[in-house]
Chain A
Amino acid sequence: MSANPETVKQSSSSLKDKLATFHSWAAVDDSTLNKGQKLAVKYFMGAVILFIFQIIFGLLAGIQFIAPGFLYEILDFSVNRMIHINAMILWMLYGFIGCTYWLLEDESGTEIVGLKYGVIGFWVLSAAITIVVLVYLLIQTGAGNDTTLWLINEGREYIEAPRWADIGIVAVMLIFFYNVVMTFSKGKWSGIAGVLTLDLVALAGLYVAGMFYMTNITHEQFWWWWVIHLWVEATWEVLVGVIMAWSLMTILGVSRRIVTTWLYIEVALMFGSGILGLGHHYFWIGTPEYWLTIGGFFSALEPIPLVAMVVHAVYDSGERSFKNMNHPAMAWLIAHAFGNFFGGGVWGFMHTLPQINLYTHGTQWSASHGHFAFFGAYATINIAFFYIAIQHWRGNVWMGSNSLNEWRWKWALALLNIGVVGMTIALLIAGYEQSFIERAIGGSTWGGYFAAQTHPSFMSAMHWRMLFGLVTAAGLGLLVWDLLTIGKGETRKAEMIIHSK
């Protein structure tokens, strides 16, 4: 079939018209963005859409704890939960890629090298994700053979994407590196650029460790944790360190020397504790006993870099009396500092030592920690960056005190934080109950498991979790509304920040 060039031309111009209408409605102006930033905002919009998916499927899975017959054999818990956690990982990755493209030209002092490939990469990745999700929803499972693992689902928590998509993800990541490395090489390197590049190499390299089938489940889970742990407890943490450093420099005006020194301290502490902290996943999967000591010791140190990040963010903000050019972004950065410390650090530490982990491993304890940590460490800082981007995209408008409709961002901040902390506490109660009733008393049998699941305190915890899930969803709704409208009709320009040398 040959397409009529006239029709193609018309439809592409009508798409452009629609885009222009949307831009004028949203009061955003592409001419305020550099090329890297134009690509970044695509990733940010993708991230927000995936964030909405994460919450919808989280709510569905939450309902199934209360009403197990809900959507039975239509969208079972396994499907909802898989999309819930996959959408989360992906929107955060979209956010991180967006942040990197956003700061790339400013940081390197030159134009992005391979913008065209970056744009192609974005559309390829987004198309691949759409296909993967449709297959998850419509086909769901397959026969127990390699075809299923290649085309439908790999069945490994967090990295369920079928193998063809894995290869696609790696290809898109290579384009992303090419852009980052070549742009810095053409322009100038900095401490932030160096840490960022090395971290991205590790981040992508690790993904490859999760792309093999193994029958020996001990080996399989060993490598699987290389991806999951070394992503979320090492390379992602360093990545948010980079984003935090750049953001503090940009919106607060902290000096480059100070943020770079802090960044190196964070890298030393983060990798020094996090790399061998991997051992806390090797307590019970068949791996040797020395991991009990190594994993326990190093993971107990993992909160230390997070304390350092709180001190850094709060000290620098306090030193400038919180005078900054973007109040919502600053508030979310502070939420990140504390959320990372409490969600990742404290909640992780509470059950990381093998003596307690023997009872908590594989209970709602992990869900409690997971919700608080992913939100506190990663959702918050991405949201902060969305606000940095939208301020710029609307022409560097005023987002200081007494801005229009500022109740919206404040309520979105409050509802999202209250919602997630509420779910965390509810799940923690369920986790404690499970550790006692199922594990300590029930001997971890199926009888013990169900005795814990039907216990009134477990059931009430699931209801509370649902309620706070709805609060979170309301917060997200408000956040999206706010991002679409904040700064619209604002005539004042952003406050000038005095940058320290």
Chain B
Amino acid sequence: MSENPQWASESFWKKVAVWVTAGSFLILVVLTFDTLKQTSAGGDRVPAYSVINKKIDYQFDKKLNKFMPIIDGEELLFGKEFSEEEAEQLVTLGKKTTQAKNCMNCHTLLGNGAYFAPDLTKAWLDQGWLTVGLREEQMLKFLMDPEKNARTFGTDRKMPNLDITKEEAKGIVAFLKWMSSIDTNGFPYNFTTIYAEDD
């Protein structure tokens, strides 16, 4: 079809398709390298696993107009100071348990998952645990026997018993504490932590 203008021709769009795809993919690869570097555990955005030895809270940053994590002072988990290696081991056990128990098909983690149960991104900091002193014990009890310690908040939705062992429950708590320290660009918005109630 010789009367076809160049911009409407098959060969023109073929070239555009190839260049646009290759260009976009190249940019994605470059950004992926940068993102992985910026988000490795131990950096500014994703703290080292030993953050489980610290107190984690959030404060509204007026300049950035969002809530930012404040990691400040010691707040040991299960009364123990974990070395970097021990902390990673415990968080790994917790992370594997959350996958093995299929948590993500009821809950969301960092907002991703299913919507049948609450978001776990900042579960460690939630006011639902009533006081800082009671929190660890309550979390362990709940994870190991959710039916008896059900927290349904007026719905009849109860977490099923998933045969979580004490060690696994401790791992989950450590994982949740570590996850709550990740800088998520202000998500979830307007989250009031357990410390705000204590003050």
Q: Which chain A residues have a beta carbon within 8 Å of chain B's beta carbons?
A: 61, 64-65, 67-69, 72-73, 76-79, 81-82, 140-146, 148-149, 152-157, 160, 191, 195, 213, 215-219, 221-222, 224, 257, 260-261, 264-265, 267-268, 271-272, 275-276, 278, 281-292, 294, 358-359, 361-364, 366-367, 439-440, 443-447, 449-451, 453-454
Contact = CB atoms under 8 A, between A and B. Distances in A.
B190 A218 contact: no
B155 interface: yes
Nearest to B125: A445
Going nearest first, the 6 A-B pairs with the smallest beta carbon separation are A144-B97, A155-B99, A444-B188, A450-B153, A362-B111, A284-B187
Interface in B176-199: 179, 182-192
A146 B93 CA distance: 10
Interface string B54-95: 000000000000000000000000000000000010011111
9 contacts: A65-B116, A77-B116, A144-B100, A191-B10, A218-B39, A264-B14, A445-B126, A450-B153, A453-B155
Contacts of A358: 186-189
Interface string B157-182: 11011111100100100000001001
A271 B28 CA distance: 11
B102 A257 contact: no
A68 B106 CA distance: 12
Contact of B95 (A64, A215, A267, A454): A215
A454 B191 contact: no
Interface of B: 1, 8-10, 13-14, 16-17, 20-21, 24-25, 27-28, 31-32, 34-36, 38-41, 45-46, 49, 88, 91-106, 108-116, 118-119, 122-123, 126-128, 147, 151-158, 160-165, 168, 171, 179, 182-192
B45 A288 contact: yes
A446 B126 contact: yes
Contacts of B185: 283-284, 289, 292
A141 B110 contact: no
Nearest to B128: A446
A78 B161 contact: no
Contact of A215 (B16, B91, B163, B187): B91
Contact of B17 (A160, A217, A264): A264
Contacts of B25: 271, 275
A296 to B, nearest CB: 12
A268 B20 contact: yes
A148 B111 CA distance: 24
Contacts of B119: 362, 444, 449
Given A81-B105, A289-B185, A362-B113, 20 more contacts: A78-B116, A81-B114, A140-B102, A141-B100, A144-B97, A155-B105, A218-B39, A257-B1, A271-B17, A285-B182, A286-B184, A288-B45, A358-B189, A362-B111, A439-B188, A439-B189, A439-B190, A449-B119, A450-B153, A453-B157
A73 B27 CA distance: 47
Contact of A68 (B39, B93, B156, B182): B156
A161 to B, nearest CB: 12
Nearest to A144: B97
A233 to B, nearest CB: 13
Contacts of A68: 155-158
A443 B187 CA distance: 10
Contacts, number: 263
A217 B152 CA distance: 27
A286 B160 contact: no
B153 A446 contact: yes
The residue in A222, A359, A450 that gathers the most chain B C-beta atoms within 10 A of its C-beta is A450
A155 B17 contact: no
Contact of B38 (A140, A160, A261, A288): A288
Given A72-B160, A294-B31, A272 B24 contact: yes
Contacts of A363: 115
A157 B191 contact: no
A222 B36 contact: yes
A157 B111 CA distance: 12
Contacts of A82: 102, 105
A446 B20 contact: no
B46 A218 contact: yes
Contacts of A454: 153-155
Contact of B100 (A145, A195, A283, A361): A145
A208 to B, nearest CB: 15
Contacts of A265: 13, 16-17
B110 A285 contact: yes
B160 A73 contact: yes
B24 A219 contact: no
A135 B101 CA distance: 13
Contacts of A213: 96, 99
Contact of B161 (A73, A143, A291): A73
Nearest to A441: B190
A148 B108 CA distance: 21
Contact of A157 (B24, B31, B104, B147): B104
Contacts of B98: 144, 155
Contacts of A447: 127-128, 153
Contacts of A276: 24, 27-28
A264 to B, nearest CB: 4
A353 B158 CA distance: 34
Contacts of A367: 115
Given A264-B14, A276-B24, A282-B35, A153 B102 contact: yes
Contacts of B115: 362-364, 366-367
Contact of A142 (B16, B100, B154, B190): B100
Nearest to A435: B189
Contacts of B27: 276
Contacts of A157: 104-105, 112-114
A440 B188 CA distance: 10
A80 to B, nearest CB: 9
Contacts of A290: 31
A78 B100 contact: no
Given A217-B109, A264-B16, A444 B21 contact: no
Contact of A278 (B28, B114, B184): B28
Contacts of A61: 116
Given A358-B187, A447-B127, A76 B160 contact: yes
